[in-house]
C-alpha cells in the first residue's frame, strides 16, 4: 500500500529525464516509454522508500542507518561504485545486500537469527535500501578494485563459475550471456553483461514482474530458472536449486560482472523487461 | 511386520545401488538422513558436474585442446539408450506437446524446443539459437540421427549449447521417440 502511495507521488513529482540504452528502450511498452519521456521512472518509488527506511528503521540500540552514514546518506556517496569489496569488519567480500545486512546486525543491534528481522529484511527493507544506497552513486564510474587477496580469489572464482557448465541442461552463465549473446530465447534477447558493462543499471526495476531486483535476485533467479541440477528428472523436485542469498557464489559472480563494468557510469535504477 | 520391513530395506538398497549414476552416489545417503540446506543443495549441484561438462567449462565453451573429439563423441554415443519400440514413436500428438504445446503458444517445460528453434509456422515466438526446424522431415535425415541428437547432442556436436535431454533424464527414451515421430511425420505442421 505504502509503496503504491510513494509510487504515485513519485510519478506526480517527476524527476530527471532518463536516458536509456537504445536496445532497452525498444523492449519497453509504450506507456513506460511515455512515462520515461516525462521523466518518471517506477523505480524511483523504491529509492524514496529506501530513503525513508534509511532514516526511520531503528535497531535495538536506537541507531538508524543515518546515525553512522549521515543525513541523506552523505557519507555513502560513491560507496556502491566500489562494491562488492572486502570489508574488514565483516571479514569477507560483500555485495550491497550483504553489506546492509551486516550493518544492521553488527551496528544497529538486530539479531541475525531473529525471525521477524529476517522476514522484514528480506521482504521489506533489503531491496529499497539497496536501491537507495546504490542511487547515491549515480553519475559515478564503477571502480571495483581487486586489491585484497580475498577479492582476487573471489574474482577468479566468479570467472570460473561464469563458465562452469552444470545441471541437467548443461548450461553455464556464459552459454547464454557470452556465447549466445545477441541471439534470442524465444523473443527475449540475450544481453552480454560482461562485454556491455550492463551492471551500471542494477538494481533494476523489471516491469515484467513489477518488482525491483538487486543483482543478487537476478543471479539467483537465473540459477532457479535455467539450471536443473539432479539427473533424475522430477518437475517439482528437481527444477529449482538456487544458491543461498549472500553466499559467496552469488557475490563472486557479481564481482566478476561488476569488475568487467569498471569505468562505466552508474545509472540506478535501471528499467528492464 | 518385521519381515516386511526387512524386504523393504533390501529392495530399497538394491534399487539405490542399481539406479544411482556414479555422480549421484555421494548425495544419496545424505538426502535420507536430513533435510538439506540450500547451501548443501547448491554444493551438491555443483559437485554433480560430470567430466564432460567440466571439459566444456572454458571461456570458449568448446572442447579444449588435448581432448580427442572422436573419443568424446564415441563416449557420448555409448550413453544413448534406445526405446524398445524403435526410434520413431507412435504418439505423435504427445511428441508435439513435448516439442512445444501449440495450445500454450509452443511452451513446454520438457522439450521446450521453441526456446531455441523455430518449427510450426504458427508459433511465432521461437528462438534463433538453433537452426530452424521447418521442413525438417523433408531433409532426408535418418530418424535415428534425430533421436541421437536429442538424446545426447554431444555425441554429434561436443559441448554444443543444446542440452543433453535424454542423457540427463529430462526426457525418457519413449518421449524422445514421440518427438522424433512428430518431426518426421509428413503431416506434421513442421513439414507442411
Q: What is the pLDDT of residues A186-241, one digit of tens each?
A: 988 899 999 999 999 999 998 888 899 999 999 998 888 777 666 555 555 555 57
Q: At what angle do helices A149-163 and A248-260 cross, to 10 degrees?
A: 90
Contact A163/B59, CB-based, under 8 Å?
Answer: yes
Is B121 a residue whose pLDDT tops 60? yes
pTM for this structure? 0.83
**pLDDT tens for each residue of A153-192:** 999 999 999 999 998 889 999 999 999 999 999 988 899 9
Of A164, A166, A244, the CB nearest to B39: A244
Is A71 a residue whose pLDDT tops 70? yes
3-state secondary structure of A145: coil
> Annotated catalytic residue: which of A146, A222, A245, A264?
A222
Does B163 contact A at CB distance below 8 Å?
yes
3-state helix, strand, coil in chain A (%, to 5): 50, 10, 40
Mutate to test the interface with B, among A162, A184, A186, A242 (most CBs of B within 10 A): A186
- Active-site residue flag, A222: yes
How much is the ipTM here?
0.81
User: What is the number of residues in chain A?
Assistant: 273
Contact B37/A244, CB-based, under 8 Å?
Answer: yes
CATH number of A41-271: 1.10.760.10
Contact A184/B24, CB-based, under 8 Å?
Answer: no
Contact B42/A243, CB-based, under 8 Å?
Answer: yes
Is A79 a residue whose pLDDT tops 90? yes
Where along chain A do its domains lie?
A: 41-271
Is A54 a residue whose pLDDT tops 90? yes
- Which residue is it, cell 550471456? A177
Question: How is residue A226 annotated by DSSP?
Answer: H
CATH for B67-184, among 2.60.220.10, 1.10.760.10, 2.40.110.10, 3.90.600.10? 1.10.760.10
Confidence band (pLDDT; 50, 70, 90) for A18?
very low
SS (H, E, C) A61-128: CCCCHHHHHCHHHHHHCCCHHHCCEEECCCCEEECHHHHHHHHHHHCCCCCCCCHHHHHHHHHHHHHH
Confidence band (pLDDT; 50, 70, 90) for A103?
very high
Q: What is the pLDDT of residue B48?
A: 86
Q: What is the pLDDT of residue A226?
A: 78
Q: Is A245 exposed, middle or buried (0-12, 13-18, 19+ CB in 10 A)?
A: middle
* A259 in a labelled binding site: no
Amino acid at each position: 500500500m505504502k509503496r503504491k502511495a510513494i509510487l504515485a507521488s513519485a510519478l506526480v513529482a517527476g524527476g530527471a529525464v532518463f536516458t536509456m540504452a537504445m536496445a532497452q528502450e525498444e523492449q519497453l511498452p509504450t506507456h513506460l516509454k511515455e512515462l520515461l519521456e516525462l521523466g518518471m521512472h517506477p523505480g524511483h518509488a523504491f529509492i524514496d522508500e529506501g530513503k525513508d527506511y534509511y532514516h526511520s528503521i531503528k535497531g535495538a540500540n536506537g541507531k538508524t542507518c543515518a546515525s553512522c552514514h549521515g543525513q541523506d546518506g552523505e557519507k555513502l556517496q560513491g560507496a556502491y561504485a566500489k562494491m562488492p569489496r572486502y570489508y574488514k569488519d565483516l571479514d569477507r567480500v560483500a555485495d550491497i545486500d550483504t553489506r546492509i545486512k551486516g550493518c544492521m546486525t553488527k551496528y544497529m543491534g538486530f539479531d541475525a537469527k531473529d525471525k521477524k528481522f529476517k522476514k522484514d529484511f528480506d521482504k521489506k527493507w533489503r531491496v529499497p535500501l539497496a536501491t537507495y544506497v546504490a542511487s547515491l552513486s549515480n553519475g559515478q564510474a564503477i571502480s571495483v578494485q581487486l586489491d585484497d587477496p580475498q577479492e582476487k580469489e573471489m574474482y577468479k572464482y566468479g570467472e570460473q563459475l561464469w563458465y562452469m557448465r552444470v545441471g541437467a541442461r548443461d548450461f553455464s552463465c556464459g552459454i547464454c550471456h557470452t556465447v549466445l549473446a545477441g541471439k534470442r530465447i524465444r523473443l527475449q534477447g540475450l544481453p552480454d553483461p560482461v562485454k556491455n558493462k550492463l551492471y551500471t543499471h542494477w538494481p533494476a526495476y523489471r516491469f515484467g514482474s513489477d518488482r525491483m531486483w538487486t543483482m543478487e535476485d537476478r543471479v539467483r533467479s537465473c540459477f532457479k530458472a535455467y539450471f536443473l541440477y539432479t539427473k533424475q528428472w522430477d518437475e517439482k523436485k528437481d527444477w529449482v536449486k538456487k544458491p543461498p542469498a549472500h553466499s559467496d557464489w552469488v557475490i563472486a559472480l557479481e564481482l566478476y560482472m561488476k569488475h568487467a563494468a569498471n569505468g562505466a557510469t552508474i545509472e540506478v535504477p535501471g528499467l528492464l523487461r | 511386520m518385521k519381515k516386511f520391513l526387512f524386504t523393504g530395506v533390501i529392495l530399497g538398497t538394491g534399487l539405490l545401488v542399481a539406479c544411482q549414476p556414479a555422480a549421484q552416489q555421494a548425495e544419496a545417503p545424505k538426502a535420507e538422513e536430513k533435510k538439506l540446506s540450500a547451501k548443501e543443495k547448491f554444493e551438491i549441484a555443483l559437485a554433480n558436474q560430470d567430466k564432460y561438462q567440466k571439459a566444456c567449462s572454458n571461456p570458449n565453451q568448446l572442447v579444449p585442446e588435448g581432448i580427442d573429439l572422436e573419443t568424446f563423441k564415441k563416449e557420448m554415443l555409448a550413453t544413448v539408450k534406445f526405446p524398445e519400440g524403435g526410434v520413431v514413436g507412435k504418439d505423435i500428438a504427445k511428441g508435439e506437446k513435448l516439442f512445444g504445446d501449440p495450445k500454450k503458444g509452443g511452451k513446454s517445460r520438457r522439450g521446450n524446443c521453441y526456446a531455441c528453434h523455430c518449427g510450426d509456422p504458427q508459433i511465432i515466438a521461437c528462438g534463433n539459437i538453433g537452426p530452424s526446424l521447418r521442413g525438417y522431415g523433408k531433409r532426408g535425415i535418418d530418424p535415428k540421427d534425430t533421436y541421437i541428437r536429442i538424446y545426447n547432442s554431444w555425441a554429434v556436436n561436443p559441448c554444443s549449447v543444446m542440452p543433453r535431454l535424454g542423457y540427463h533424464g529430462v526426457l525418457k527414451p519413449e518421449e524422445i521417440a514421440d518427438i522424433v515421430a512428430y518431426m518426421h511425420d509428413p503431416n506434421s505442421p513442421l513439414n507442411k
